[in-house]
Structure 1
Amino acid sequence: MGLFSGFKNTVFLWLFIILSCGNRGKAVADSEVSDPGNPLPPAVVVAANKTGSYIPLLKDKNTAVVANQTSVIFKDSAGKDSLLSHTHLVDSLLSLGVPVKKVFAPEHGFRGDADAGEKVKDGVDKTTGLPIISLYGKNRKPTPEQLQGIDIVLFDIQDVGVRFYTYIATLQLVMEAAAEAGIPVLVLDRPNPNAHYIDGPTMEKEHTGFLGMTTIPLVYGMTIGEYATMINEEGWLEDGQKADLTVIPLDNYTHQTTYHIPIRPSPNLPNDQSIALYPSLGLFEGTDINAGRGTEFQFQRYGAPFLDSTKYDFKYTPKPNFGSKYPKHSGKTCYGKDLSSEPRPDRVNLQWLIDAYANATDKSKVFLTDGFTRHAGTALLQEQITSGATEAEIRESWKQDLEKFKQTREKYLLYD
């Protein structure tokens, strides 16, 4: 089966999505019927659906596409916007006569089925013959050779608005490579499901890397199109360069819009709940505590064998599964908390991390490497937790940086 054919609509795929994801967003399917006296708000229209706005920009231009399994156009067979039917962007571009020459794939690969941190190999799509170039393998930034003969780079990937989610790092490196090569960049905007708040520690320059390339908070409250503009205008590209950047905006969207992502953006974010809790539980990725990988409730629970079993009435056993071949504490009983019914948060919750550390029978097993600092963006958070600081005290230490960021962010917002 070719790489692109994996995105064709099938009854099985959509049954899986409907059953596993649950739609609680305002981006509603066409089949939903509203009360005439209380009509539903208009559905969000992703930029990829607005072909009339960007196809003219690609006419007769050799195009490279940065894409994964979320890079789709939501339309039914009649050409009407619908979350219940989609075609992959690359397939659509080719059918519309756009000369797509290659595809760049981010972490998790073009089909989105590789483990977190797993190297992704280059390949060739068997259906179209297009080369698939990994940006999570030998190199994370397109090389001059890989961009040779390209007239424009199109970026379209669904983000979740968390600094250590690596798609925004890929965006920055793509923009940088394009700026160096004098190639325009076109970003098709998509909603941020965590855009309704700004919170968490701010990345410190000495800890920047692929889990956070710029000095932004853990949760930054911007769409990927808004963030691309910020990268460009704040001089965050190498040597202060600027890309020739165009952003195609969303329709019917605000930062308070509750948006349901119909296609999981990565293997371990299967539904709305995991995406909503990811900013908080993602911090466990830098510890030796399991955050649900190896279960069907990724980022909806946490636990470890060394958490005090007398303090918890919830336990589970991680096992290898889709997206997690080697989960932490595989095959071992983990004691912890089930958060699958937690309300949608409006801030980063530190209490779960503080709770886990407080109830570890061997505290030396919690923070084993520098991975926590790379996720938090600062060494201070670990120091605060291990010294017994309260959540309120920790949050107070974030205030000044958050206010400064909000002022900068305001300049680049495309939506209310």
Structure 2
Amino acid sequence: MKQLVCILLLLCCCFPAFSQQTVITGAERTATYLPLLKGKRVGMLVNQTSILGPSHLVDSLLKSGVHIVKIFSPEHGFRGQADAGEKLGNSTDPATGLPIVSLYGKHRKADSADLADVDLLVFDLQDVGTRFYTYISSLQELMESAAEFNKPLIVLDRPNPNGHYIDGPVLDTAFRSFVGMQPIPTVHGMTVGEYAKMLNGEGWLKGGVQCRLTVITCENYDHNTLYSLPVKPSPNLPNMRSIYLYASTCLFEGTAFSLGRGTDKPFQVYGHPSLPKHLFSFTPRSMPGAKNPVLMNQTCYGYDLSAPSKETVRQINLEYVINAYRLFPDKNKFFNAFFNKLAGNSTLQAQIKAGQSAAAIRQSWEPGLKAFREIRKKYLLYKDF
């Protein structure tokens, strides 16, 4: 018996994952937040990632007697099937009969009519930890509406699958957009609960308003936890490889290249018809979640990054976009107007055009990252990496 205990202790020391407990999300901690919902008319900003065990959070809470009066939906919709950027109108959920108010497109902020019959708001979306993934922008605008109309907001926190590092340029606020609203780096290393606290604490909500915020934290999670998502967060992030590559390959949205939308490897390949024909080839097709992908029905030549890797992703790989620019024959047509919004500045594009190395570009990020790390520390809810 003594020998068995020694073996188990050795395994726990050498292989931390061996002793790692299962992460419990904020949504799963019902005993903590159900009393806060009792007797309230509840509005919920949720989508297909808002799960509680095997069922949707909305279904589970309705069965528990919670009085949900309205669903708010982010980009990709309540069921998460819409294309990136696809504008969805209001609708009714056929499963529950609840009204769904879309908070994406022209109507991004809940107004007085939307909130007239709501006493309390709940936010539960699985983020992927990058500045340009729009769920944190929806969080900010919901917090602003909650503050304006004096509605308390409960954030049910979930782990950040890219929460184990910080990287990228800090956004220049001259380039604010819905894919980058605050001066944070591309990869911010925070959960949505931590980020919500930062929005409040730094006075970043419009007009410096304060939201009455409650964060229901995760258990058995810290910023060294490599968390695998149980549900894909959007149609074109189908697996963990795409989620780990996303911070690097999303930059191709601001170029003439395909990054694999309309294939079975979105955000895991990149290419263009004009690249050398001996390279990896793929052809984007119209499909659910990518109805009209870039370079549809054109054979693209480029690179396949989809092979699983044992190495933990801990930084943005700039070599992909630098290599693509180097190979592209018509340099004047490589970038489009979206690139600077994704980068959060005009500097990165200029650096690539000037032929700067990835190492030199990364070095230019350091002052901004150092300042952000100091701000971030104030709002952490979990042990840092």
TM-score range, shorter chain: over 0.9
SS in 2 for 1:201: coil
Equivalence for 1:397: 364
**Structure 1: how far apart are the matches of 2:95 and 2:224?**
40
- Larger mean CA deviation between 344-353 and 171-180 belongs to 344-353
Equivalence for 1:413: 380
Equivalence for 2:302: 336
Matched, 1:47 2:14: no
Which letter does structure 2 place at the counterpart of 1:328?
V
**1:253-310 deviation line (CA, Å, top 9, x unaligned):** 011101110100000000000000000001111111111111001111100112233x
SS in 2 for 1:337: strand
Equivalence for 2:48: 69
- Please point out which of 31, 53, 58 is paired with 2:37: 58
- Decide which structure has greater helix share: 2
Residues 85-96 of structure 1: pairs in structure 2 closer than 5 A? 86-96=54-64
**Structure 2: how far apart are the matches of 1:378 and 1:127?**
43
Which letter does structure 2 place at the counterpart of 1:337?
Y
- Please point out which of 254, 278, 289 is paired with 1:286: 254
CA drift at 1:366? 1.1
**1:28-83 deviation line (CA, Å, top 9, x unaligned):** xxxxxxx9664431110011011000000000000000000000112xxxxxxxxx
**1:308-333 deviation line (CA, Å, top 9, x unaligned):** 33xx5211111111210111111111
Equivalence for 1:346: 314
Which letter does structure 1 place at the counterpart of 2:33?
Y
Equivalence for 2:279: 313
Decide whether the 8 Å contact of 1:306 with 1:362 is kept in 2.
no
Matched, 1:378 2:345: yes
Matched, 1:113 2:81: yes
**1:183-240 deviation line (CA, Å, top 9, x unaligned):** 0000000000001110001111111110011000000000111001000111011110
Matched, 1:327 2:293: yes
- Please point out which of 135, 152, 156 is paired with 2:103: 135
- Larger mean CA deviation between 220-229 and 343-352 belongs to 343-352
TM-score normalised by structure 1 residue count: 0.87
Unaligned runs of 5+ in 1: 1-34, 75-85
CA drift at 1:337? 0.7
Which letter does structure 2 place at the counterpart of 1:314?
F
**Structure 2: how far apart are the matches of 1:54 and 1:378?**
40
SS in 2 for 1:43: coil
Which letter does structure 2 place at the counterpart of 1:278?
Y
CA drift at 1:98? 0.8
Which letter does structure 2 place at the counterpart of 1:403?
K
Matched, 1:296 2:275: no
Which letter does structure 1 place at the counterpart of 2:76?
H
Which letter does structure 2 place at the counterpart of 1:62?
R
**1:98-143 deviation line (CA, Å, top 9, x unaligned):** 1100000000000000000000111012232210000113401111
SS in 2 for 1:274: helix
**Structure 2: how far apart are the matches of 1:288 and 1:207?**
21
- Please point out which of 146, 152, 164 is paired with 1:196: 164
Equivalence for 2:147: 179
SS in 2 for 1:107: coil
Aligned length: 368
**Identity, % of aligned positions:** 51
Unaligned runs of 5+ in 2: 1-6, 12-17
